[in-house]
Amino acid sequence: MKPTPAGWPRISTSLYYDDPRKAIDWLCNAFGFEVQLLVEGDGGRIEHSELKYGDGLVMVSGTDKGERMPWARSPSQVGGANTQNLMLYVDDVEAHHARAIAAGAVIVMEMETHDYGADHWADRGYGCRDVGGHHWWFFQRVATGGKPEA
């Protein structure tokens, strides 16, 4: 594969929210994202945004895309359904969990360890739903090949 453009990850995702400005603020506060780019349109409408988490990127915008993107829907517009779940590795999952709860994240999977055996790895993590109804999973690697992570 050829290298990606400078500063751009190989893969990213777009999420649609009923109130993208509120969602951006919440994602930064609750999960630790940082705004890399914010493009506003008429009346301060969020046309496009890019939020970074380490080398990961999530684009956030509203559902008011009209004929240009008629499929852009938030979970509230489709009965709470999610067509994707997002999973991120964090450095300290316990601290991340506390931060998310303090910001009002709805926990959908309590903190637990998933151990795939001595030949593989073990991760500790939790699942939650954000302010717009999107599901997120946050994990920390705790062992690799049967050995604790350093």
Tell whether 80 is covered by a domain.
no
Same structural domain, 44 and 93: no
Q: Quote the CA–CA distance of 46 and 61 in Å, as a whole number.
A: 6
Q: Which of 68, 102, 125 is the last residue of a domain?
A: 68
**Distances from the Cα of 68 to the Cα of 46, 85, 141, angstroms:** 15, 24, 41
SS3 content of the chain, % helix, strand, coil (to 5): 20, 40, 35
Amino acid 75: pLDDT: 87
pTM of structure? 0.89
Task: Tell whether 61 and 4 lie within a shared domain.
Answer: yes
Which tokens go with 100?
A: 């998310």
Residue 143, in any domain of the structure: yes
pLDDT reported for residue 77: 83
Please write the tens of the pLDDT for every residue from 111-145. 999 999 888 999 999 999 999 999 999 999 999 87
Total tally of structural domains belonging to the chain:
2
Q: Which of 22, 42, 68 is the last residue of a domain?
A: 68
pLDDT at 7: 80
- Domain range enclosing 144: 85-150
- Indicate whether 62 and 97 sit together in one domain: no
CATH, residue 144: 3.30.720.110
Predicted confidence at residue 74, as pLDDT, reads 85
Residue 12 tokens, joined: 């990213």
User: Other CB atoms closer than 10 Å to residue 137's CB: what's the count?
Assistant: 16
Q: Would you say residue 79 lies in a domain?
A: no
User: Is residue 74, in this structure, part of any structural domain at all?
Assistant: no
Cβ atoms within 10 Å of 29's Cβ, excluding its own: 15
pLDDT at position 27 is: 98
Phi, psi for 100 (deg, rounded to 5): -65, -45
Q: Is residue 60 part of a domain?
A: yes
Question: What is residue 146's predicted lDDT score, i.e. its pLDDT?
Answer: 67
- C-alpha 147/C-alpha 128 separation (Å) is 28
| Regions of the chain with pLDDT less than 50 | none
Other Cβ atoms less than 10 A from the Cβ of 1: the count is 4
> Which among 38, 68, 98 is the end of a domain?
68
* Element containing residue 23 per DSSP (H, E): helix 20-31
The pLDDT score that the predictor gives to residue 73 is 83
Query: Is residue 73 domain-resident?
Result: no
Is the same domain home to 105 and 133?
yes
- CB count, 10 Å around CB of 130? 22
- The enclosing domain of 24 has a CATH number of 3.30.720.120
Q: According to the model, what pLDDT value does residue 49 have? A: 96
